[in-house]
Chain A
Amino acid sequence: MDDKPINQKAWFLVLPVVVTVAFSAVVPLMTVVNYSVQDIFDPHTRYFVGTEWFEQILHDSRLHGALVRQFVFSLSVLLIEIPLGIGIALTMPRRGRWVSVCLVLLALPLLVPWNVVGTIWQIFARPDIGLLGRAVNALGIPYNYTGDPTDAWVTVLVMDVWHWTSLVVLLCYAGLQAIPDAFYQAARIDGASRWAVFRYIELPKLRGVLMIAILLRFMDSFMIYAEPFVLTGGGPGSATTFLSQLLTTMAVGQFDLGPAAAFSLIYFLIILLFSYVFYTALTHLGRGANR
């Protein structure tokens, strides 16, 4: 085994990915770093300002507000979508013709583009002509997402749950299907309860897909832009203005490229930290469980 020749040619297979990532991620990131330390007037007129934009952004109360809202939103999304996704996946049929029906129905929201989802919910939730808005008001519950911050928040959350829970369901369903029958047979012989089967067989086996689901949903919800932008425009006031919308306003609306670049880097560092913490925690949790 030791005299097996070492072949480094596999690196050439990785090369296309390296080149693609370099041009799609590394070069733009380097440009953003360059922009973040300069005052850019036009492509030929720019001045070095050091860390001024970072100081300005770090003391910006709009960023603080958007950051808090973003964390509350992402946390709410994870707390709702992950248990709900697991629950739905557990109740889905494992075999038979209904499997295809369920999978197609669940995949439908995922196929709708982000801005279309916002438009659908904007009309659906309108208190004057929308089915949801009129129905909720008819029940005697005052509801107006364009005027009330709580209603706006609930609507944005429900919209996200409608759009993305399917992803968690599909991932969990794939994970459940991969569990060999022998595990269930052993549990039946031992007289394990349904809860015990879930806790000691299904949940540990779902660790890998749950890690992917949590990471995807965290990163995606932390970068949410189109849906709340179309639905509420960040309002009422700034109640549903999340980080990406604030960043876009700064970069495209006000054309403050330097501060927007500094903002982007801080935003990137936050996502990087939380994704790494989630990934490390879940990976090491899994190692412990497999022991």
Chain B
Amino acid sequence: MEWMAWTLPTALFFVAVGCLLLGMTVLQLVWPTVERKGFLPMKTTRGDRLFIGLLASAYLHLAWLAFTDLSLWWALGLSVLLLAVVLRWG
């Protein structure tokens, strides 16, 4: 695994992504998703909303790096909030 040049932060990031996917799978088995319409312009499943939320979070982080000098922890906090909002009301 040395060739993959692992670092602790990136390992934690992928562990979090893995946990998220595992959690969604378990949730799907226990409580299957139903397509519904929220504030997003189309009907979405839980997986769709997670994908949209994660993609939006990635772009939020990039915009944060491009336009501000503030700490990236703020962007992370906002992303968690954004993800929660999209998952609940999206």
Which positions in A face B, CB cutoff 8 Å?
27, 30-31, 33-35, 37-38, 40, 43, 46, 48, 51, 54-55, 58-59, 266, 269, 272-273, 276, 280, 284
Contacts A51-B72, A58-B62, A280-B42 given; does A33 touch B55 at CB 8 Å: no
Q: Is the CB of A276 within 8 A of B55?
A: yes
- Which residue of B7, B58, B62 contacts A48 across the interface (Cβ within 8 Å)? B7
Contact of A55 among B2, B42, B59, B65 (CB under 8 A): B65
Contacts of A31 in B (CB 8 A): 3-5
Q: Determine the distance from Cα of A273 to Cα of B52 in the docked complex, in whole angstroms.
A: 9
Instruction: Tell me the minimal C-beta distance from B47 to chain A in angstroms.
Output: 13
> Could you list which residues of chain B lie within 8 angstroms of chain A, going by C-beta atoms?
2-7, 9-10, 13-14, 42-43, 51, 55, 58-59, 62, 65-66, 72
Question: Which chain A residue shows the least CB distance to B4?
Answer: A31
Contact of A35 among B5, B9, B43, B55 (CB under 8 A): B5
Bound-state CA distance A51–B64 (Å) is 11
Measured between alpha carbons, how far is A70 from B75 in the docked complex, in Å? Answer: 28
Pairwise interchain contact A34-B66, C-beta atoms closer than 8 A: no
Mostly, the A contact residues are helix
Known A34-B10, A276-B55; contact A58-B66, beta-carbon cutoff 8 A: yes
Do most interface residues of chain B lie in helix, strand or loop, or is the interface mixed? helix
Given contacts A27-B4, A43-B3, A58-B65, contact A37 B59 (CB under 8 A): no
- A34: nearest chain-B partner, CB-CB: B5
A46-B55 contact, Cβ under 8 Å, with A30-B14, A266-B62 = no
Known A-B contacts A30-B14, A269-B58; A54 and B7 likewise in contact (beta carbons under 8 Å)? no
Beyond A40-B5, A276-B51, list 5 extra A-B contacts (CB 8 Å).
A30-B14, A33-B10, A43-B3, A273-B59, A276-B55
Residues A37 and B7 in contact in the complex (CB < 8 Å), given A51-B72, A269-B58, A273-B59: yes
In the complex, the chain B residue whose C-beta lies closest to that of A266 is B62
Q: Which residue of A lies closest to B7 (CB)?
A: A48
Residues A46 and B5 in contact, CB atoms below 8 Å apart: yes
| Cα(A54)–Cα(B51), bound, Å | 22
Q: In the complex the two chains form, is A272's CB within 8 Å of B10's CB?
A: no
A54 contacts B65, C-beta separation under 8 Å: yes
* Least Cβ–Cβ distance between A255 and chain B, in angstroms: 15
Residues of chain A within 8 A of B13, CB atoms compared = 33
Establish whether residues B59 and A34, one from each chain, have CB atoms under 8 Å apart when the complex forms.
Answer: no
Neighbouring A residues of B55 by C-beta, 8 Å: 269, 272-273, 276
The distance in angstroms between the C-alpha atoms of A34 and B3, with both chains bound, is 10
Interfacial chain A residues near B2, Cβ < 8 Å: 43
- In the assembled complex, which residues on chain A have CB atoms less than 8 Å from the CB atom of B6? 34
Q: Is the CB of A51 within 8 A of B10?
A: no
A34 lies within 8 A of B4 (CB): yes
- Which of B14, B42, B62 contacts A284 (CB under 8 A)? B42
Task: Please give, as numbers and ranges, the residues of chain A lying within 8 Å of B62 by CB-CB distance.
Answer: 54, 58, 266, 269
Q: Which residues of A contact B42 (CB under 8 A)?
A: 280, 284
22 A-B residue pairings within 8 Å (CB atoms): A30-B4, A30-B14, A31-B4, A33-B10, A33-B13, A34-B4, A34-B6, A34-B10, A37-B7, A38-B5, A43-B3, A48-B7, A48-B9, A51-B72, A55-B65, A55-B66, A58-B62, A58-B65, A269-B58, A269-B59, A272-B55, A284-B42
